[in-house]
Structure 1
Amino acid sequence: MTARFSLRPAAGVASLAVAVAIAAGTLATVATVAATRVSSVQIEDWQMQGAATHAAWPVWRLRLAAAFGNAAAREALADVLVSSAHRDERREGVALYRQLARDAVPSAQGTLGHLLLRGLPGIAPDYVESRRWLSAVASHDPQAAYDLSTLYRNGYGVARDPDLAIRWLEQAAQAGVPLAQFQLANEYRFGTALPHDDALALQWLTRAANAELPEANLALAIAYRNGELGMARDEDAYWAHVKESEHDLKHVSRP
């Protein structure tokens, strides 16, 4: 009799363990569903606040959503971390971007290539890995195309290749990257990779200036002051573009 009743506590413990396991699994499922259903507006809000203030709560919410498989939260978290004042968090952000890039997330591949091209405080550039990721997305990512042209133009981690540099530069300029438009204007005006053409230089310089690139407006101002690029001297136009360049500097945002 004693032996028969002594089995009951063990059975009760087993049943309780099963119940706990089921409850834990249910909670994990609920948490996963909740995390994956977080709206893009919420994620963008947490990302904006995290990047601007690095307050604990938006970063924690991004971490939680990312931990339960929300892909958008993972990328938003990486963006917040790479802008952190703490080197360990910056390294974590780069590592997270690398995971996303290996998972074939195109936006993460372009961003990682951009970060590795320029480096971060305490994190040296890696031109070879940068080129790997930029090459993967440059055909449809204008910023990546511009970055790739920079690598080939300067010979960063690869032999200099003026033809490839111009190819990617033209693609980025055509896609509307102001810095690419400005640089392409200079190639037509001063460069050795393209034939000298003041008309094309003026065309691309004007497009960059219209995109509120400060150095483009300043270059146009100087051209009007000196009567360059086939234009007559124009003091009024000179001052107008000087003022535009000053206005642009207040709103400049560089990737």
Structure 2
Amino acid sequence: MTARFSLQPAAVAATIAVAVVIAAGTLATVAATRVATPVSNVQIDAWRMQGTATHAAWPVWRLRLAAAFGNAAAREALADVLVSSAQLHERREGVELYRQLALGSVPGARATLGHLLLRGLPGITPDYVESRRWLSESALHDPQAAYDLSTLYRNGYGVARDPRLAIRWLEQAAQAGVPLAQFQLANEYRFGTTLPHDDVLALQWLTRAASAELPEANLALAIAYRNGELGMARDEDAYWAHVKESEHDLKHVSRP
């Protein structure tokens, strides 16, 4: 004869109550641990790097837990990891989290969101209108945002093309040390499309971009030395030196 067991409603309620108490105790323990030993920014950066490099679940879980308990750095790191995820739903979650951070005036979040919406992500199309909103709010104090805003105005992405504004933001980004902006500004002076032709300024900005290890800048300098351009005499040794530099730069190139 098989014995059959069934829980009465009172027993079910008691079981649920016990589970709730255990869960509450667990959360209280985690919270107490966090207060006693707060997560360091070094640890958060480690989880960020592990999450973006390996896409493993455990660093993401740890960032989620720290963010849930109010750690602002963990929240921003979580957004960074999620937008690099291979999963579309996580990329969307990351963009939305950056949007919340931007609305909360978290430093850098507005510029990052503007950049993401300008470039788009796999499965997420660019939104130039919203991108311009966030970039416009960030460009005065964020060089990358200034460069991105220049890109919007130069190409007419979601707005009428405006070469004057494009150059204004491009110059600001170049002065602040953005290598791509320096290279682009060099080309503006070199070819005279928007700015007056000026080989001296073109060479100045091209050299600064090359010194920042931008591969295309070193390659452009190499060609200029080979052909005797930008007011320079032909120099075979300088040509090969910059070719080698461009090859070296390609091994370390990282684009935002």
Aligned-partner residue type, residue 40 of structure 2: S
* Unaligned 5+ runs, structure 1: 1-12
State the alpha-carbon separation in 1 of the partners of residues 32 and 146 from structure 2.
40
State the alpha-carbon separation in 2 of the partners of residues 228 and 204 from structure 1.
15
| Contact kept in structure 2, 1:32 and 1:69, CA below 8 Å | no
Task: Tell me the residue number matched to 2:174.
Answer: 173
Given the superposition, is the C-alpha separation of residues 166 and 70 from structure 1 closer, same or farther in structure 2, using an over 3 Å criterion? same
Task: Tell me the residue number matched to 1:57.
Answer: 58
* Unaligned 5+ runs, structure 2: 1-13
Task: Tell me the residue number matched to 2:140.
Answer: 139
1:135 match: secondary structure: helix
| Contact kept in structure 1, 2:147 and 2:181, CA below 8 Å | yes
Given the superposition, is the C-alpha separation of residues 54 and 177 from structure 1 closer, same or farther in structure 2, using an over 3 Å criterion? same
2:91 match: secondary structure: helix
Q: Which runs of 4+ in 1 moved over 3 A?
A: 23-26, 31-36
Task: Tell me the residue number matched to 2:123.
Answer: 122
State the alpha-carbon separation in 2 of the partners of residues 187 and 26 from structure 1.
59
User: Scaled by the length of structure 1, what TM-score is found?
Assistant: 0.88
The count of aligned residue pairs is 238
- In the TM superposition, what is the alpha-carbon distance from 1:67 to its structure 2 partner? 1.1
- In the TM superposition, what is the alpha-carbon distance from 1:31 to its structure 2 partner? 4.9
Task: Tell me the residue number matched to 2:228.
Answer: 227
State the alpha-carbon separation in 2 of the partners of residues 196 and 227 from structure 1.
17
| Contact kept in structure 2, 1:31 and 1:68, CA below 8 Å | no
Superposition RMSD in Å? 2.2
Q: Write out aligned runs for 1:55-94 (5 A).
A: 55-94=56-95
1:183 match: secondary structure: helix
| Contact kept in structure 2, 1:32 and 1:68, CA below 8 Å | no
| Contact kept in structure 2, 1:151 and 1:157, CA below 8 Å | yes
Given the superposition, is the C-alpha separation of residues 34 and 46 from structure 1 closer, same or farther in structure 2, using an over 3 Å criterion? farther
- In the TM superposition, what is the alpha-carbon distance from 1:36 to its structure 2 partner? 9.0
User: Scaled by the length of structure 2, what TM-score is found?
Assistant: 0.88
% identical aligned pairs: 84
State the alpha-carbon separation in 2 of the partners of residues 183 and 35 from structure 1.
51
Given the superposition, is the C-alpha separation of residues 151 and 31 from structure 1 closer, same or farther in structure 2, using an over 3 Å criterion? farther
- In the TM superposition, what is the alpha-carbon distance from 1:132 to its structure 2 partner? 0.5
| Contact kept in structure 2, 1:223 and 1:229, CA below 8 Å | yes
- In the TM superposition, what is the alpha-carbon distance from 1:88 to its structure 2 partner? 0.9
| 2:121 aligned with 1:148 | no
Q: Write out aligned runs for 1:5-44 (5 A).
A: 27=28, 30-31=31-32, 33-34=34-35, 37-44=38-45
